[in-house]
């Protein structure tokens, strides 16, 4: 197991004491209520337009619990992930479920005041009614969502189940009908259904507009209406320590799929200066860059062929949003070679969105070259955390969720 055992035990003891004070018993690890194309060297540069992006409104940050620092800081927890994450930072995420859009502004901010206190100030009141949640996608054998979500529900005292429901695309319609009519409160969506599911939604949150994919659906208890969200962008950004300034930075993103577009959404919100996209399919990428240029007119977008030599000498943040290096057939490969990484400035950040394995070859190379790095573990937990806020209107315990993931990864 990758988790630092001593810290984990300390954490659990503190948690047990806290819950005992509140009249609730600590959950054992097993106590979860589980139910279970290549074209030649093309480098297209898109210049920025003059119109500025309106400054995004950021909701107040959460209070932080003192023992969060202790857990993340220990050097023996390198397996846990993020070398850069030497200090725990709370997400700049909103405290209320995202409202349905009235405008097309993808950064529209909930106007209502926060309705829930941070998890550490909430008394876990065990609810009598069992809420039902699920994950749909195909295949789902290696999904970690069940562990993360059950730990999150438990941390809030929400009595809930989280079922893994393998759903091939041809069964999507029936599955949606089933979820709508069998008392489910919400569900997550993963590949290959993130786009097809939009056909069945009654409302779509602006959080998904650039990402063009849905990963979280809430079912209205009164009307059974389905509202779709994407929480990957918030997950992506929450994993970056707040003291790493993003404003005015230059970013290189490898890949142009869902994870890449979530990263773009988040980084544009932070007003980076320039984003270079590295792709296999340059024609599609040019189309995407054109769309992004219109959506984010004061950011420069470049499109490069991924299999050409990558010169990152102007890059502050390198993001891998391809599956290269992921467990399975891609494990052991790297989307950027050592000589390419050597072109990065010394203070650059390498962010691999892959969470399994926690240490990809890209991360190993970044480590070898003494670069800052972040893997995809925190992004995965933060996106689930955001989904729980949408579903419950409450704030789960990030650490409980992360530990549950790391214990099972």
When binding is defined by CB under 6 A, the residue of 281, 295, 308, 327 that contacts ligand NAP is 281
Q: Which is nearer to ligand NAP, 260 or 371 (CB)?
A: 260
Q: Which is nearer to ligand NAP, 241 or 255 (CB)?
A: 255
Shortest Cβ 23–ligand NAP spacing (Å): 35
Shortest Cβ 72–ligand NAP spacing (Å): 17
Shortest Cβ 323–ligand NAP spacing (Å): 4
Under rule CB under 6 A, residue 403 binds ligand NAP = no
**Residues numbered 215-234 forming contacts with ligand NAP, rule: CB under 6 A:** 232
Shortest Cβ 84–ligand NAP spacing (Å): 16
Under rule CB under 6 A, residue 91 binds ligand NAP = no
Q: Which is nearer to ligand NAP, 158 or 324 (CB)?
A: 324
Residue nearest to ligand NAP (CB): 257
Under rule CB under 6 A, residue 150 binds ligand NAP = no
Smallest CA-to-CA distance from 62 within 41, 89, 86, 32 is with 89
When binding is defined by CB under 6 A, the residue of 233, 259, 289, 405 that contacts ligand NAP is 259
Catalytic residue ranges: 194
How far, in Å, CA of 308 to CA of 354, rounded?
22
User: Which 3-state string (H, E, C) describes the chain?
Assistant: CCCCHHHHHHHHHHHHHHHHHCCCCCCCHHHCCCCCCCCCCCEEEECCCCCCCCCCCCCCCCCCCHHHHHHHHCHHHHHHCCCCCCCCCCCCCCCCCCCCCCCCCCCCCCCCCCCCCCHHHCCCCCCCCCEEEEEEECCCCCCCHHHHHHHHHHHHCCCEEEEEEECCHHHHHHHHHHHHHCCEEEEEECCCCCCHHHHHCCEECHHHCCCCCCCEEEECCCCCCEEEECCHHHHHHHCCCCCCCCCCCEEEEECCCHHHHHHHHHHHHCCCCEEEEEECCHHHHHHHHHHHHHHCCCCEEEEEECCCCCCCCCCCEEEECCCCCCCCCCCCCCCCCHHHHCCCCCCCEEEECCCCCCCCHHHHHHHHCCCEEECCHHHHHHHHHHHHHHHHCCCCCHHHHHHHHHHHC
Number of residues that bind ligand NAP (CB under 6 A): 23
Shortest Cβ 280–ligand NAP spacing (Å): 4
Shortest Cβ 191–ligand NAP spacing (Å): 6
Contact 304, 278 (CB under 8 A): yes
**Residues numbered 366-385 forming contacts with ligand NAP, rule: CB under 6 A:** 376, 379-380, 383
Shortest Cβ 148–ligand NAP spacing (Å): 10
Strands 203-204 and 300-305: unpaired
When binding is defined by CB under 6 A, the residue of 206, 258, 357, 396 that contacts ligand NAP is 258
Angle between helices 398-408 and 66-73 (to 10 degrees): 30
**Residues numbered 382-401 forming contacts with ligand NAP, rule: CB under 6 A:** 383
Q: Which stretch binds ligand NAP (CB under 6 A): 79-87, 107-115, 251-259, 391-399?
A: 251-259
Under rule CB under 6 A, residue 327 binds ligand NAP = no
Q: Which is nearer to ligand NAP, 259 or 349 (CB)?
A: 259
Shortest Cβ 19–ligand NAP spacing (Å): 28
Q: Which stretch binds ligand NAP (CB under 6 A): 75-83, 252-260, 286-294, 393-401?
A: 252-260
Smallest CA-to-CA distance from 378 within 54, 82, 21, 15 is with 82
Under rule CB under 6 A, residue 340 binds ligand NAP = no
CB atoms within 10 A of CB 26: 15
Under rule CB under 6 A, residue 336 binds ligand NAP = no
When binding is defined by CB under 6 A, the residue of 97, 255, 357, 396 that contacts ligand NAP is 255
Binding mask 286-325 for ligand NAP (x = CB under 6 A): --------------------x--------------xxxx-
Binding mask 341-360 for ligand NAP (x = CB under 6 A): ------------xxx-----
Q: Which is nearer to ligand NAP, 200 or 382 (CB)?
A: 382
Contact 185, 206 (CB under 8 A): no
Instruction: Point out which residues bind ligand NAP (CB under 6 A).
Output: 232, 235, 255-260, 280-281, 306, 321-324, 326, 353-355, 376, 379-380, 383
């Amino acid at each position: 197991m990758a988790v630092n055992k001593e810290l984990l035990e300390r954490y659990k003891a503190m948690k047990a004491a806290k819950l005992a004070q509140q009249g609730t018993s600590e959950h054992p690890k097993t106590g979860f209520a589980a139910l279970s194309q290549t074209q030649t060297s093309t480098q297209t540069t898109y210049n920025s337009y003059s119109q500025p992006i309106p400054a995004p409104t950021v909701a107040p940050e959460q209070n932080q619990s003192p023992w969060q620092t202790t857990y993340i800081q220990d050097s023996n927890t390198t397996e846990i992930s993020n070398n850069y994450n030497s200090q725990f930072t709370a997400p700049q995420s909103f405290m209320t479920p995202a409202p349905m859009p009235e405008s097309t502004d993808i950064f529209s901010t909930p106007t209502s005041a926060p309705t829930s206190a941070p998890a550490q100030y909430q008394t876990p009141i065990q609810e009598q009614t069992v809420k039902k949640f699920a994950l749909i996608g195909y295949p789902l054998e290696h999904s970690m969502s069940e562990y993360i979500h059950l730990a999150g529900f438990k941390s809030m005292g929400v009595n809930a189940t989280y079922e893994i429901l393998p759903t091939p695309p041809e069964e999507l319609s029936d599955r949606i009908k089933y979820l709508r009519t069998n008392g489910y409160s919400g569900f997550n969506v993963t590949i290959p259904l993130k786009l097809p599911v939009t056909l069945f939604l009654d409302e779509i949150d602006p959080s998904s507009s650039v990402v063009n994919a849905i990963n979280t659906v809430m079912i209205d208890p009164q009307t059974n209406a389905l509202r779709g969200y994407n929480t990957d962008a918030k997950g992506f950004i929450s994993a970056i320590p707040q003291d790493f300034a993003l404003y005015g930075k230059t970013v290189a993103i490898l890949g142009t799929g869902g994870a890449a577009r979530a990263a773009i959404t988040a980084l544009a919100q932070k007003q980076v200066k320039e984003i270079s996209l590295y792709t296999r399919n340059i024609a599609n990428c040019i189309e995407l860059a054109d769309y992004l240029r219109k959506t984010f007119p004061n950011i420069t977008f470049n499109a490069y062929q991924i299999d050409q030599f990558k010169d990152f000498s102007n890059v502050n943040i390198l993001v891998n949003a391809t599956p290269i290096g992921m467990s399975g057939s891609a494990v052991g490969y790297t989307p950027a070679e050592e000589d390419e990484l050597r072109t990065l400035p010394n203070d650059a950040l390498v962010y691999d969105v892959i969470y399994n394995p926690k240490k990809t070859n890209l991360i190993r190379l970044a480590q070898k070259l003494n670069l800052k790095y972040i893997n995809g573990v925190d992004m995965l937990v933060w996106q689930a955390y955001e989904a729980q806020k949408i579903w419950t209107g409450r704030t789960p315990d990030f650490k409980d969720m992360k530990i549950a993931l790391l214990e099972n990864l």
